[in-house]
Structure 1
Amino acid sequence: MTRIITLFCIFIAQIGFSQSAESYLEKIRNNEALLTAFFQQMPKGGDLHHHFSGSIYAEPLLERAIAEDFYLNLETLAVSKTKPEKGNWERFSSLKDKLPFYEQQIMQTWSVKDYNGSVPSDDQFFDSFMKFEPTIKGHFAEGMLELKKRAIAENVSYIETQLSTIPCDMNVSDLTDFNARLRQASAQKDEKAVLKLLDELYKSIQKKDAKKYAEDFNNNFLAKLHKDLKIDDERFTMRYQNFVLRFMEPVDLFKNLIIAFISSNESKLTAGVNIVSPEHGENSMKDYWLHMVMFKYCNSKFPDVKYTLHAGELTLGLVQPEDLTWHINDAIYIAGAKRIGHGVDIAYEANSYDLLKYMSKNNIPIEINLVSNEFILKVKENRHPFTLYKEFNVPIVISTDDAGILRSNMTEQYVLLAKRYPDVSYATIKQYVYNSINFSFIQDEAVKKQLVKDLDNRFKTFEAKFSKN
């Protein structure tokens, strides 16, 4: 990277003269090294679509597993703190001269490093999380500091990360009959019946002291960790999205969703709620409409809580054509999402022009993840709907998604953006950067204003590099 930056500075010195960042960008559109140096130094604002565990690079996770002598499954390359009953598990310390071989295999399993197509790309991506997840438990601090250090190094001033699910051991075995009742009403698209059932369920969950789980998470984990690590300073700010898992049964998911909303409603460190896991999974597809109604219900109870939804992270071939027509529609029109993550299937959505106009009119941004969409869905360049969103003036923010697993960073997202879409001007790119702060879910307006002011100063300094000495 030092060599690239040096090349950038030499080029600037040679052309030396009064030119703008805009004109310089146009000269280097097809040179990835020069684009990398340019965007590495350009202020990039915030990363709003960001999964904490997927953003940690595999190297420190593997180092931790070796240092703490985890058990390694020699077949799946998953790790465990304790030895499971089933499977071929060995401690790292017992591998001895075989360790380098397994280290290489682990890196290729926990991330997309050296990916060769031996397994489907979506499986490679989504299956990696559970393999390295044991190395993250109890080590959130190290990961947060790693992310902060990397963000500062590439001029990212804000991250809105999905840090952790909220631990909850609430017993809901007496409520399991709601699973079938909710799915039956959902199959008939009977929203009124679903909302009535959710109201009954909500009252039962409240009686089980849902609030205590949210308070414990906010006070004894989130606030303490954030304060102890001194995450916020004059260079960097971080906030946290609560999230639930799509693959869970309806009652468990709704219970967790209620707790997530309570948490977000009561802590300024939280920046809303999200829903994750593969959108094309069995329960994800079966219960998608039901999940959207759940968000609508929670919004009625906690109207101040914002939420962004992964929607339309699908493409032709991954699911049946008819399943590409309604996910973003339902996320916006039913759930009332304030931002959309991915939105790759927008061209296939029913009445997509009307939907895009609605997003534009109501300032519902799209979180664009170019590297992620290319690897997981094989959607890139003119197959990617970026231009479609741009044409309809939908607010755009550029994000990383899971930079650790994808072996990427924020700079690469902008390099691909500038190289693949030459009609996107520097001024437009700059607007996307400001969007990443203005459309963030930061609750404290003073913090948001300060980040915008900081961006003003950073761009002034950056753009001065191109002015005449």
Structure 2
Amino acid sequence: MGALAVLLLAGCATAEMGGGGQPGGDASGSAAARRFEAVRGNPPELRAFLYRMPKGADLHSHLTGAVYAETYLRMAAGAGLCFDVAGRTLVAPTKQAPCGDAKSGRPGAAAVIADGVLYPAALDALSTRDALPVSGYSLHDQFFATFGRFRAATGAGPAAGGDLLAEVVDRAGRQGERHVELMVSFGSGPAAVLGKAFPWTPQAAADLPGTADRLVAAGLPALVAPARQEIDAAEARMRSLLGCGTPAARPGCAVSVRYLQQVARTQGPGPVFATTLFNALLEAQEPRVVGLNFVAPEDNPVALEDYDLHMRMVAETTRRLPGTNVALHAGELTLGLVPPERLRDHIRKAVEVAGAKRIGHGVDLMYEDDPRGLLRVMAQRKVAVEVNLTSNDKILGVSGKAHPLPVYRAAGVPVVLSTDDEGVSRIDLTNELQRAVEEFGLGYADLVGLARASLEHSFLPGDSLWSAPGCTPPGLAEACRAVTERSEKARVQQGLEEALLRFDREMAGGRS
């Protein structure tokens, strides 16, 4: 009865459908909503409000791209790496090419950090900070170039992945995020090597079931155990750095963390199919892995040429392993980046051929054949779109009125806000909420609905909180108890509801 009384006092007991067709309680009359309206026209005040506002999940975040360049330089210094000034890349020293001083053209990362000229130049090289005037590249090219430049630091140490996790997960916790699904590549390197050694022929492409059988027989299942050990090591390091389980535990310890295994779509067919199959096998045996995703530039010539084949590969993989969750980058394209003919069907094929449950970006929606029909399909199937506003602006030059976010929402397609690569873009999830408010006029109730949608469409196991008869936002009534007792997803969702009520009380008490 106590929780129910709080629910009624908060003025959130009425359930309605939020933008995108998921439960979204009426938060428009709450103290938090009133505070939001008071600050929405003041960007610094709005930022502070949104930073403290409880959030759901970040469902589209590449782990290595989420880490800031400053961290990579510190890790590189600790590992004794060099910075190739001409190539603007972190590299390992060799006997023939050791690290030198700041004037050598190949200084050690520690020397770079101590140098007032090289340090900002290195930060620019490893991110999109001031990229265009410094590099001469388009922001699209600079964005994707950064990953190769800091790659040497991502493996600097036996449990370097744990250092990356600690930074990203703790940042999420400090912003009030409840859950993150991070795109990673545990064990995918050996899987790609196995696939590269596999002879790819027209027959292999025509007979994907038979090709899959041969790849599995070649040793893919044996790669699962080492990948699980990688996850163990990374998470142990993360928990140690965050002090989890101690009185000094940092905010990241409260965040639910799961992984989406990446498939690099710019590889040849053998590595792509082998990695796709391996990732599904890993998901089937490792609860911390909850799905797979295809990554790398969608406009790459190989990615474009093999797109239909890739969708068939995903379909064959999910046929063999029906429990596989699929989220796909699709429609991260726009006119001018590729010829118009390449904008006609990527989102549709990701949904209808590959069976994606979530679409990353989806920017070229209205260039697709029959976009209204596609929107109806996505709304009916509840295929969520992971919207990355800053990334779409920097990589594609698409923002504001040119962005399809309002089109998706108006059509009842589930929408979530995410970061993509917050370290490379030098943002955080709060920034994306602020852009949504300032560019699209979203209100507090809209933001609450988006937070709920992000957990609703997460790949956390178990039934949704809202699946229980009589359980409506904010989900603290007696009717919700049964589902929270058996479902991890429902428990995380309920945690968000409790956090939103606490936040509303804080706003009513004058804390801002």
> TM class by shorter-chain length?
0.7 to 0.9
Q: Tell me which amino acid in the other structure corresponds to 1:111.
A: S
Instruction: Report the Cα distance in structure 1 between the residues aligned to 2:138 and 2:182, rounded to whole angstroms.
Output: 27
Q: Tell me which amino acid in the other structure corresponds to 2:161.
A: F
Instruction: Report the Cα distance in structure 1 between the residues aligned to 2:60 and 2:254, rounded to whole angstroms.
Output: 20
Structure 1 position 428, deviation (Å): 2.0
Matched, 1:56 2:67: yes
Instruction: Report the Cα distance in structure 1 between the residues aligned to 2:388 and 2:113, rounded to whole angstroms.
Output: 40
Aligned-CA RMSD value: 2.4
* Structure 1 partner of 2:166: 145
Matches within 5 A, 1:198-213: 198-213=208-223
Q: Tell me which amino acid in the other structure corresponds to 2:377.
A: Y
Q: Helix, strand or coil: the match of 2:290?
A: strand
Q: Helix, strand or coil: the match of 2:360?
A: strand
Q: Tell me which amino acid in the other structure corresponds to 1:112.
A: T
Instruction: Report the Cα distance in structure 2 between the residues aligned to 1:362 and 1:171, rounded to whole angstroms.
Output: 35
Matched, 1:382 2:401: yes
- 2:73–2:109: 8 Å Cα contact kept in structure 1? no
Instruction: Report the Cα distance in structure 2 between the residues aligned to 1:29 and 1:96, rounded to whole angstroms.
Output: 41
Matches within 5 A, 1:42-441: 42-83=53-94, 90-92=106-108, 99-117=115-133, 118-137=136-155, 138=157, 139-165=160-186, 166-168=188-190, 170-172=193-195, 175-178=198-201, 180-181=202-203, 194=205, 196-218=206-228, 220-227=229-236, 229-230=238-239, 235-422=254-441, 424-441=442-459
Structure 1 position 172, deviation (Å): 4.9
Identity between Structure 1 and Structure 2 (%)? 27
- 1:223–1:269: 8 Å Cα contact kept in structure 2? no
Structure 1 position 96, deviation (Å): 8.0
Higher mean alpha-carbon deviation, 430-439 vs 459-468, is at 459-468
Residues 32-88 of structure 1 deviation map (CA, whole Å, 9 limit, x = unaligned): 112101110111111000000000001011122233331221201111123397999
Structure 1 position 101, deviation (Å): 1.8
Structure 1 position 244, deviation (Å): 0.7
Structure 1 position 216, deviation (Å): 1.8
Instruction: Report the Cα distance in structure 1 between the residues aligned to 2:112 and 2:457, rounded to whole angstroms.
Output: 51
**Which structure 2 segments of 5+ residues have no match?**
1-28, 99-103, 246-252, 464-486
Residues 237-288 of structure 1 deviation map (CA, whole Å, 9 limit, x = unaligned): 1001111101100011101111111001111101100000000001010001
Q: Tell me which amino acid in the other structure corresponds to 1:221.
A: E
**Which structure 1 segments of 5+ residues have no match?**
1-17, 183-193
Structure 1 position 119, deviation (Å): 1.1
* Structure 2 partner of 1:33: 44
Residues 417-469 of structure 1 deviation map (CA, whole Å, 9 limit, x = unaligned): 011111x3322211110111111012355321111111011000111133367
Higher mean alpha-carbon deviation, 268-277 vs 166-175, is at 166-175
Instruction: Report the Cα distance in structure 2 between the residues aligned to 1:299 and 1:202, rounded to whole angstroms.
Output: 12
Q: Tell me which amino acid in the other structure corresponds to 2:302.
A: N
Q: Tell me which amino acid in the other structure corresponds to 1:222.
A: I
Q: 1:64 to 1:94 in 2, by over 3 A?
A: closer
Higher mean alpha-carbon deviation, 438-447 vs 137-146, is at 438-447
Q: Tell me which amino acid in the other structure corresponds to 1:175.
A: F
- 1:161–1:241: 8 Å Cα contact kept in structure 2? yes
Structure 1 position 226, deviation (Å): 2.5
- 1:299–1:305: 8 Å Cα contact kept in structure 2? yes
Q: Tell me which amino acid in the other structure corresponds to 1:168.
A: P
Instruction: Report the Cα distance in structure 2 between the residues aligned to 1:173 and 1:61, rounded to whole angstroms.
Output: 30
Instruction: Report the Cα distance in structure 2 between the residues aligned to 1:96 and 1:266, rounded to whole angstroms.
Output: 43
TM norm structure 2: 0.81
Instruction: Report the Cα distance in structure 2 between the residues aligned to 1:93 and 1:128, rounded to whole angstroms.
Output: 16
Q: Helix, strand or coil: the match of 1:36?
A: helix
Structure 1 position 176, deviation (Å): 2.1
Instruction: Report the Cα distance in structure 2 between the residues aligned to 1:158 and 1:326, rounded to whole angstroms.
Output: 31
Residues 356-411 of structure 1 deviation map (CA, whole Å, 9 limit, x = unaligned): 11111111100010111111111100100000001101111110000000000000
TM norm structure 1: 0.88
Q: 1:19 to 1:43 in 2, by over 3 A?
A: closer
Q: 1:73 to 1:229 in 2, by over 3 A?
A: closer
Structure 1 position 23, deviation (Å): 3.2
* Structure 2 partner of 1:188: none
Specify which of 435, 450, 453 is matched with residue 491 of structure 2.
450
Q: Tell me which amino acid in the other structure corresponds to 1:461.
A: R
Q: 1:93 to 1:59 in 2, by over 3 A?
A: closer
Q: 1:131 to 1:98 in 2, by over 3 A?
A: same
Q: Helix, strand or coil: the match of 1:159?
A: strand
* Structure 2 partner of 1:467: 508
Instruction: Report the Cα distance in structure 2 between the residues aligned to 1:97 and 1:50, rounded to whole angstroms.
Output: 27
Q: Helix, strand or coil: the match of 2:132?
A: coil
- 2:125–2:146: 8 Å Cα contact kept in structure 1? yes
Structure 1 position 148, deviation (Å): 1.9
Instruction: Report the Cα distance in structure 1 between the residues aligned to 2:493 and 2:147, rounded to whole angstroms.
Output: 34
Q: 1:288 to 1:84 in 2, by over 3 A?
A: farther
